């Protein structure tokens, strides 16, 4: 009995206000009655299905939410001494996010990595070493988008190609070209069962497949695994998660494809015909780029497959914690011959980029590219004259969908930099953060009852030396931006001893908790006025193309967003929206985005671990 009482007292002594808040929110998130997860354990983008932003309905999910999920459960292990949920979160990634249906990967030719000889293309420098290390040809990174309940009915469930509505379960999908209101959602594997004569293939006459990875999300998984490794080691439980960590290390090994130019051409000073195809790693820019793509034919006869990285590198995607982990944590060591070396180069290059891209007022610039205007064009003379390892500055990636106008990209990346600074004490990181927070304090307010942080931004200037980040909108409509700012301030304060950073972090956490709390977690109240865009006409890349979805919805040039998503009319909020479209007032919905719940929980947990 005395031992039991001693344990209880020890538990109470270690408990604190912010760890209790973390556990309260964590328990609300994992409570099945609240509905954050599907029956397969996959987190939805949001509780509410009627939500259109990076997804076209809230019961899709993306690799971003999935990466937040595993990080959330890593933090739970640190606070509750239980790492089983962390292992389970990894199982969700392996079971549903890393695709198994990758046909003809045994026919991949690393000397012709994009599958066509019509371009000047370099060689894939890492395929053979990955195959040697892991004994398989398939790519091992996450596809970025899942139709969690198979609303569209394609049935691209794990390992299958267009099995239809009866397949159920998480289905791999793509977002079509154009804005999210214009896009035609289509399957990753296209057997021509649905869509038009050639399925949803506007340029192929044979059944085909392809996937895209969002490297920042895969890197966040590595970041989460690093912290899980540290916390489990401290608690003497590292053996419980070593199997998971070894698989995350494998994912990190394959994530290196994001380091390479889209056509494996020379990285740096790359313009037109003067940009040679690389014979080895001359194509490596060593930054986390916009995407990884891979695909091929479905049929085996004369089949082929391809894989590629990207030439667009936004500062918001960089993750020095992930790079540090792949180099320095023995539990996350890559097996390939040059994996650790590549990640070491990436860590150095990322830190350089933070300093190089920082503007004179302390904000961080946008992006660099190895392919000007996506065609290896000729940049303006001032851009040519001031490069980053030969990469050209641009405020936004050319293929950006508006993401780089959202301030969350900057609150996320500086949070990672602050964590790296906390881990290492790196002076470059400290200097960048000090200037960054000086700028940020001028563009945010926080009190006991309210707060306002940047939400949307725009750019002026053509180089980091004259660029300026202009805040277009401030407020609290994404409380996850506020919580990630609080977390970055916490890590910075814990290492530097900066009292203002610590007190501002605490204020932000307190006011978000006070203003956004409800019975299901944390919410943001929003009206559905944006849904007037449901009448937006869809974008069809090829004139005259028509098709049909599995549920019979017709897709033509005159179809609208809503016409090809008739199942939206079954949503519980549809009657209110219909009344609004008929001339009534805009209905109000309390949104519960998964990533925001997790981000706030992680900020609370970090503050507890650092200061309580």
Q: Which residues are catalytic?
A: 64, 216
Judge whether 184 and 538 are in contact, CB under 8 Å. yes
Alpha-carbon span 584 to 580, nearest angstrom: 4
**In this structure, how many other beta carbons lie within 10 angstroms of the beta carbon of residue 33?**
6
Phi and psi of 542, rounded to 5°? Answer: -120, 125
485 Cβ partners below 8 Å, 6+ apart? 411, 415, 440, 444, 453, 508
Judge whether 434 and 325 are in contact, CB under 8 Å. no
Alpha-carbon span 188 to 172, nearest angstrom: 6
The DSSP secondary-structure symbol of 265 reads B
The DSSP secondary-structure symbol of 146 reads E
Judge whether 490 and 610 are in contact, CB under 8 Å. yes
Task: Work out whether strand 292-297 and strand 588-591 pair parallel, antiparallel, or are unpaired.
Answer: unpaired
In 3D space, the residue among 480, 505, 475 whose CA is nearest the CA of residue 595 turns out to be: 480
Judge whether 316 and 285 are in contact, CB under 8 Å. no
Alpha-carbon span 6 to 84, nearest angstrom: 26
| Token pair for 432 | 């960048």
Q: Which residue has 């695709």 as its token pair?
A: 99
Task: Work out whether strand 451-460 and strand 171-174 pair parallel, antiparallel, or are unpaired.
Answer: unpaired
| Token pair for 526 | 């929003």
Length of the chain: 612
Question: Which region, left, alpha or beta, applies to residue 364 given φ > 0 means left and ψ of -120 to 50 means alpha?
Answer: beta
| Token pair for 29 | 């998130």
């Amino acid at each position: 009995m005395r031992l039991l009482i001693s344990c209880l007292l020890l538990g109470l002594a270690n408990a604190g206000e912010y760890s209790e808040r973390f556990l309260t929110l964590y328990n609300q998130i994992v409570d099945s009655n609240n509905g954050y997860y599907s029956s397969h354990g996959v987190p939805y983008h949001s509780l509410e299905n009627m939500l259109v932003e990076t997804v076209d309905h809230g019961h899709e999910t993306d690799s971003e939410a999935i990466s937040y999920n595993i990080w959330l459960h890593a933090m739970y292990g640190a606070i509750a001494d239980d790492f089983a949920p962390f292992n389970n979160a990894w199982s969700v990634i392996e079971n549903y996010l890393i695709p198994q249906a990758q046909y003809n990967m045994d026919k991949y030719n690393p000397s012709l990595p994009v599958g066509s000889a019509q371009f000047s293309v370099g060689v894939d420098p890492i395929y053979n070493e990955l195959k040697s290390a892991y004994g398989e040809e398939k790519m091992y990174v996450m596809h970025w988008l899942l139709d969690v309940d198979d609303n569209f009915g394609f049935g691209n469930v794990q390992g299958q190609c267009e099995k239809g509505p009866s397949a159920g379960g998480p289905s791999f999908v793509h977002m079509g070209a154009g804005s999210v209101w214009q896009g035609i959602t289509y399957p990753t594997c296209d057997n021509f069962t649905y869509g038009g004569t050639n399925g949803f293939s506007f340029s192929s006459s044979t059944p085909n497949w392809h996937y895209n990875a969002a490297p920042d999300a895969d890197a966040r998984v590595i970041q989460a695994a690093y912290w899980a490794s540290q916390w489990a080691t401290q608690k003497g439980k590292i053996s419980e998660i070593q199997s998971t960590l070894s698989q995350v290390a494998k994912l990190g090994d394959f994530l290196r494809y994001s380091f390479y130019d889209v056509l494996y051409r020379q990285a740096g000073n790359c313009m037109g015909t003067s940009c040679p195809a690389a014979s080895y790693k001359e194509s490596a820019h060593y930054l986390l780029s916009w995407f990884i793509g891979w695909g091929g034919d479905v049929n085996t006869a004369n089949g082929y497959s391809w894989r590629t990285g990207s030439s667009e590198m936004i500062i918001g995607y960089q993750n020095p914690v992930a790079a540090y982990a792949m180099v320095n944590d023995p539990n996350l060591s890559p097996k390939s011959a040059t994996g650790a070396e590549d990640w070491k180069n990436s860590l150095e290059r990322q830190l350089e980029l933070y300093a190089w891209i920082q503007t004179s007022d302390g904000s961080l610039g946008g992006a660099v590219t190895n392919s000007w205007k996506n065609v290896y064009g000729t940049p303006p003379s001032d851009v040519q004259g001031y490069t980053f390892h030969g990469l050209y500055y641009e405020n936004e990636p050319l293929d950006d969908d508006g993401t780089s106008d959202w301030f969350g990209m900057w609150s996320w990346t500086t949070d990672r930099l602050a964590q790296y600074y906390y881990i290492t004490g790196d002076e470059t990181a400290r200097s960048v953060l000090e200037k960054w927070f000086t700028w940020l304090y001028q563009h945010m307010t926080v009190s006991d009852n309210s707060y306002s942080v940047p939400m949307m931004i725009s750019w002026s200037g053509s180089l980091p030396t004259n660029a300026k980040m202009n805040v277009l909108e401030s407020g609290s409509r994404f409380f996850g931006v506020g919580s990630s700012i609080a977390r970055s301030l916490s890590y910075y304060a814990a290492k530097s001893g900066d009292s203002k950073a610590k007190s501002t972090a605490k204020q932000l956490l307190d006011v978000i908790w006070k203003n956004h709390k409800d019975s299901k977690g944390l919410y943001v109240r929003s009206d559905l006025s944006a849904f007037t865009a449901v009448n937006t006409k869809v974008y069809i890349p090829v004139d005259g193309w028509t098709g049909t979805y599995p549920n019979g919805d017709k897709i033509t040039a005159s179809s609208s967003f809503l016409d090809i998503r008739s199942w939206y009319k079954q949503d519980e909020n549809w009657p209110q929206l219909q009344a609004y479209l008929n001339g009534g007032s805009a209905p109000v919905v309390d949104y519960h985005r998964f990533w925001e719940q997790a981000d706030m929980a992680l900020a609370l947990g970090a503050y507890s671990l650092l200061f309580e």
